Amino acid sequence: MTNMAPSSIRRYLAKLINAGWIDQRSNPKIKWDRTKQYRVNLIQIQKDLNQIGLYLEGYKVEIPLEVDPAEDDQDLIQHEANEVSNEELPFSDEERTYEDEPTEESTEDSPKEPSSIPYAEIITYLNEQTDKNFKPSVRKTQEKIRARWQEKHRLQDFQKVIDTKTAQWINDPSMNKFLRPETLFGTKFEAYLNEGDTSKESAFDLYVKGLE
């Protein structure tokens, strides 16, 4: 590993993060610190190894029983929908039906190369702008990003939507909670993308402004 070029190391590290084998986060205590923190996800590694009949030798890893979050997610959406007017509601029931339908996958965006979708880079950018700590390895998050990617949206589109909605919602307590992957990258992604450029301040800018 020490004989590899820095760009190669970053590329392989991104693949491990996208696979969920390594968790990445920003410093949760110092907002302006751009240093990244990494932790090996032994549970995810063991899950993937189990699928091919292997196991981690020398480690005792207890895999928790997984519960499909779909029902809980829909209850949460319905509860939060009651708190927001129909004109401001940033999602709809279309999100529920979309994932139940098969998606035609083009040759260009074949699922054979999941590393071509920059899950980690998108979620890292979201966390930096909103001062939150979402994980790129979450299945529901990857489904939302993959669906938009198959619609030919690319990294700069995700960043633009994040910038636009962060500028609108970051200082609104009733809307700040919607700065999350399932809302931003849902079926209203196209509408958010076409709202136009919105001047925004980063979390660090807002922090500095508050000191004045």
The 3-state DSSP class for residue 24 equals: strand
Is residue 88 included in any domain, yes or no? yes
pLDDT tens per residue across span 88-123: 445 544 444 444 444 444 444 444 444 589 999 999
CB of 24 closer than 8 Å to CB of 200: no
Is residue 82 included in any domain, yes or no? yes
Tell me how far apart the alpha carbons of residues 88 and 8 are, in angstroms, rounded to a whole number: 44
Is residue 201 included in any domain, yes or no? yes
Structure tokens at 185: 């990258």
Is residue 36 included in any domain, yes or no? yes
Q: What is the pLDDT of residue 44?
A: 82
Q: What is the pLDDT of residue 75?
A: 54
State the chain's mean pLDDT as an integer.
75
Burial class (CB in 10 A: 0-12, 13-18, 19+), 53: exposed
Is residue 61 included in any domain, yes or no? yes
CB of 78 closer than 8 Å to CB of 92: no
CB of 121 closer than 8 Å to CB of 14: yes
Is residue 1 included in any domain, yes or no? no
Is residue 132 included in any domain, yes or no? yes
In 129-191, beta strands by DSSP E: none
Is residue 189 included in any domain, yes or no? yes
pTM, whole model, 2 decimals? 0.43
Q: What is the pLDDT of residue 32?
A: 80
What residues pair up with 40 in beta bridges, in sequence order?
22
Number of domains forming the structure of the chain: 1
Provide DSSP, 142-192.
HHHHHHHHHTT--HHHHHHHHHHHHHHHTT-HHHHTT-SHHHHTSTTHHHH
Task: Give the domain extent around 105.
Answer: 6-211
pLDDT tens per residue across span 16-70: 888 888 888 887 778 787 787 888 888 888 777 777 877 667 766 666 555 444 4
